[in-house]
Chains A and B, each alone.
Chain A
Amino acid sequence: MTSLRIFAVGGLISYRALFYWLSFWIFVPSLVIAPIFQILLFAYIGRSAGLESDQFYVVGNAIQYAAIPCLFAMTQLIGGEKYQNTLGAILVSPAPRLPLFFGRVVPVVGNAAFVAAFSLTTGSLILGVHIPGSAILPLALVILVAAFSCTGLGLINAALALRIRENAVLSNVLFGFLLIFTGANIPVSELPGWMQAVSERIPFTHAIEAARELVDGAALSSVLDLIGTELLIGCVYLVAGYLCLRFFEWQGRRHATLERS
């Protein structure tokens, strides 16, 4: 029961207290307006270069932009404790670590899914991309899985925040890598072999492919393998993130670097 309370209440309070972008004046420019312009930018580059349809860029960028809340929120929800001088108090508490850290994942997944869904809807309306009604629920599932998957990467990023100072820089760099490697704007088949190998193993690649097939009219059953792979990737990153957190917590205690900011 205590674990459940730490998971739910602790996660929610941490999100409200530590996700600095929750202010309306940061949330709207950064997570509502910016993704729309990212979609427009690449859709117009695509038109200029005579490449894919608008639908390709709307779907790719809407899902890929979920990386911003996933990466930044997770970092701020755990690394932010350092700047609030509450990290020590959290880590000396007897609270079980699993619900403590995973409780912070749930609001992040919800927020990222909202950002992706809103971007997809607005981008489609602006550029006149038709999304079949039958694809809406399966798309919601894909977006949720994509958000979960990238939050796993966000947890690794958050673990690194226990060790390094420049979390905002690292989060932006990870976002840039995802922009190139996930096939959001360049078909994965057009990337060099080594980049394709990387893209197979990172969040979003399979979710974006599944979402594109759904918008093209495919049935949910035909993309279940892609969704399953994305989910598996998310689980692997989440476990890796948790192990990294425990490792850096142990390292921080050993070298007295937890409060380094």
Chain B
Amino acid sequence: MKKYRHEITAGFLPLLDSALLIVAKEKGFAEIEQIDLTLVRERSWATVRDRLAVGHFEVAHILAPMPIACNLGLTAPAPRMIVPMALGLGGNAITVSGNLWWKMVDSGATADLDARSTGDALRKVITQRAGDRLRFGVVHPYSAHNYELRYWLAASGIDPESEVEIVTLPPADMGNALKDGTIDGYCAGEPWNTFGVLKRGGHLATVKAAIWKSSPEKVLGVNARWADSHPEALAALLRAIYHASVWCAEPGNHEELARLLSGDAYINKAAEWLRPALTGELKIGLRYKQTVKDFFVPNAKAATFPWKSHALWFYTQMVRWGQIEHTGPHQRVAGNTYRPDIYRSALKSLGIAMPAASSKVEGALGMETPVGSSGALTLGPDGFFDGNLFDPDCIDEYLSAQKQP
């Protein structure tokens, strides 16, 4: 008799938010669900996508906008992909070089990660600047990093297309590129901001959790063909990852988690680079620390729920930055990539509190708000730093408002 009912191979990149998948395996949550879970580390999102496409992987830790881009035919090969679960909220930061940081300080920036004041300071620096444009690194064109960096810049009055240059680099190369002056700043996940601060003279300007609170970052991308033919295996995996998210959220487990993630087979970096993201006690400069309560949220606030409004916001940014034309069919493809229905039915048996809606107005919750009758679930705050709302039922209006200079 076979020991396991399901065999699943998952691709991941060595980043902090691969934690949920790694814990699902290492702490036995996959095994409880009768899953033989194999984790394969990769070095680029392109390869994760390609190996998902041809069936080397059934599922993967992947950039939240990437499955949408695949389904819209923006990448090749373009596997049909679904997102039945998110792998946490937040987790990114924008790191700038020491040189740029001190110029920003001269223009009024303070070391408190406030997106508005650092954005204002950056705009002043750019206005006064002569010569080359500042260059910022992101990890992929279809990444939350790219869109939140651009959102922050644009809402601060800086045109990301003409006033700065945005380049793509592997996250592990960001720190070196910052130090040698190839770039002036970057938006990346952890541990690469902590690395930039501790080892490459960088300074955190702001964090994802300040630009858009409770916002999506990595998701579980699933080969749709496999999902269609293996609904039980997928449901079992979602339960295992959900249990892993609860385990990751427990402060008492953070030390063990940091050590687990630092292992050779996973992130393979010092545990001290991984702790800040887990505890929220960020090193924002060599001499400054700041506690960001919701820097990375693995479980609370429905952090694993695949909101259709998240998918649609990414879609609006793809349109905003000229990656795709806005049409009704495109919008439907984007929205339908995220599958809260699969999440609900897989996790039903756990008896946990789940959001009743599949979409929400992003930015509507100004504070932590209990939802549902049981009160066991709280959502928010989920606002953008510029105070704008995103109503997924009014996409046309949102898009035309964003066209204004």
Please indicate whether A and B come from the same complex rather than being unrelated chains.
Answer: no
